[in-house]
């Protein structure tokens, strides 16, 4: 934890939340503090998407929606994350929109300047391929991690159009690169059709366990939380949230929506139940604001980012 008194967000009772610089939750920029504990990092890359593009505009939209947050006190976690630790907005990664492999290198390089013992990053995408760059950077400090993956899709396919790194293949690459702890990782919220029934058999070979969206219905949130806690244990954990884990009623602004997803309340309840895990990194991805007429997807993502900050701070 930083040794100086943390600098919190702009006081909304003095400066209205719609005014001022649009950092995440109007927190200080990284350059404005001597040190930090948690950084919010925008990764505006969507060159790995397979259907509707536009997640490159996710970081800006999530930041704008985060103005609505009241980040001083997290009621459910009973904590004051932005006052207990130093949280900053670290700006955006400058990554090419034209070359996936080069973009992954740029994401890894930039994130590596931020991640260190005692320093954690929540990345805001961008499409889900950005998780690979983040995991590569995190592994340099923490080694392999348990992945808690909230998504409608497995994201462990081999290639799309002969491309090895896309938003549907990056976790297979992560497993092959020994970035994930075998038999510690978990998918939550999976649903919808797949290309082949063998997809699930192949996925299990990568050490994943699956809790489908329908399992959340039948088991209930407390059991889902306990299964994740039992699976992960005390090892370092990385939480990756594809916003399409939510039903399109709650997150229409995304590239590959699937009907029958989690409620916003269910996702938040599961995340908040993970308090106490050793969360060393996280991302929230696939917000494509052009497909949402009222910014509800961006607001959902901003709230999830704040919850992830709360988990890291407790």
Q: For residues 4-18, give the mean pLDDT.
A: 89
Q: For residues 22-40, give the mean pLDDT.
A: 96
**Domain presence at residue 306:** yes
Interatomic CA distance for residues 92 and 57, integer angstroms: 11
pLDDT in tens, 233-264: 999 999 999 999 999 999 999 999 999 999 99
The Cα angle at residue 20 between residues 17 and 21, in degrees rounded to 5: 115
**Domain presence at residue 255:** yes
**Domain presence at residue 287:** yes
Is the CB of residue 264 less than 8 Å from the CB of residue 246? yes
Interatomic CA distance for residues 112 and 103, integer angstroms: 14
Strand order of the β-sheet with 38-43 is 87-92, 38-43, 120-125, 279-285, 237-242, 146-150, 185-190, 208-212
**What sign does the dihedral 155-302-123-217 (CA atoms) show?**
negative
Burial of 6-33, coded b for 16+ CB within 10 Å and e otherwise, reads bbbbbebeeeebeeeeebbbbbbebeeb
Q: What global pTM score does this model have?
A: 0.96
**Domain presence at residue 234:** yes
Interatomic CA distance for residues 311 and 314, integer angstroms: 5
Mean pLDDT of all residues in the chain? 95
pLDDT in tens, 123-148: 999 999 999 999 999 999 999 999 99
Which DSSP state fits 28? P
Task: Report the 10 Å Cβ neighbour count for 164.
Answer: 14
**Domain presence at residue 220:** yes
**Domain presence at residue 307:** yes
Count of domains in the chain? 1
User: With 90 as the cut, is the pLDDT of residue 202 above it?
Assistant: no
Is the CB of residue 309 less than 8 Å from the CB of residue 81? yes
Which DSSP state fits 119? B
What CATH number does residue 76 fall under? 3.40.800.10
**Domain presence at residue 3:** no
pLDDT of residue 11: 87
pLDDT of residue 32: 96
Owning domain of residue 264: 24-313
pLDDT in tens, 85-99: 999 999 999 999 999
């Amino acid at each position: 934890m930083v040794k100086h008194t943390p600098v919190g967000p702009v006081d909304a009772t003095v400066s209205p939340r719609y005014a001022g610089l649009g950092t995440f939750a109007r927190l200080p920029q990284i350059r404005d503090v001597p040190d930090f504990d948690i950084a919010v990092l925008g990764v505006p890359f969507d060159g790995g998407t397979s259907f509707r593009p536009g997640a490159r505009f996710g970081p800006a939209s999530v930041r704008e929606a985060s103005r609505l947050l009241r980040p001083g006190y997290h009621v459910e976690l009973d904590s004051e994350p932005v006052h207990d630790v130093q949280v900053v907005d670290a700006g955006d990664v400058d990554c090419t929109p034209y070359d996936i492999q080069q973009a992954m290198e740029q994401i890894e390089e930039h994130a590596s300047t931020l991640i260190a013992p005692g320093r954690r990053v929540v990345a805001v995408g961008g499409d889900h391929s950005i998780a690979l760059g983040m995991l590569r950077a995190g592994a340099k400090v923490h080694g392999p991690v348990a992945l808690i993956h909230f998504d409608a899709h497995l994201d462990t396919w081999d290639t799309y159009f002969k491309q090895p790194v896309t938003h549907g293949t990056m976790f297979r690459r992560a497993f092959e690169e020994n970035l994930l702890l075998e038999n510690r990782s978990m998918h939550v919220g999976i649903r919808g059709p797949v290309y082949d029934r063998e997809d699930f058999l192949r996925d299990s070979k990568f050490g994943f366990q699956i809790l489908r969206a329908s399992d959340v219905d039948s088991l209930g949130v407390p059991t889902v939380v306990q299964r994740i806690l039992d699976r992960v244990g005390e090892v370092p954990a990385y939480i990756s949230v594809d916003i399409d884990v939510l039903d399109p009623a709650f997150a229409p602004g995304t590239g590959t929506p699937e009907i029958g997803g989690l409620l916003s309340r269910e996702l938040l309840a599961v995340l908040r139940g993970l308090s106490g895990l050793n969360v060393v990194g996280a991302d929230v991805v696939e917000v494509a604001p052009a497909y949402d007429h009222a910014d509800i997807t961006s607001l959902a993502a901003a709230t999830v980012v704040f919850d992830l900050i709360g988990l890291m701070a407790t």
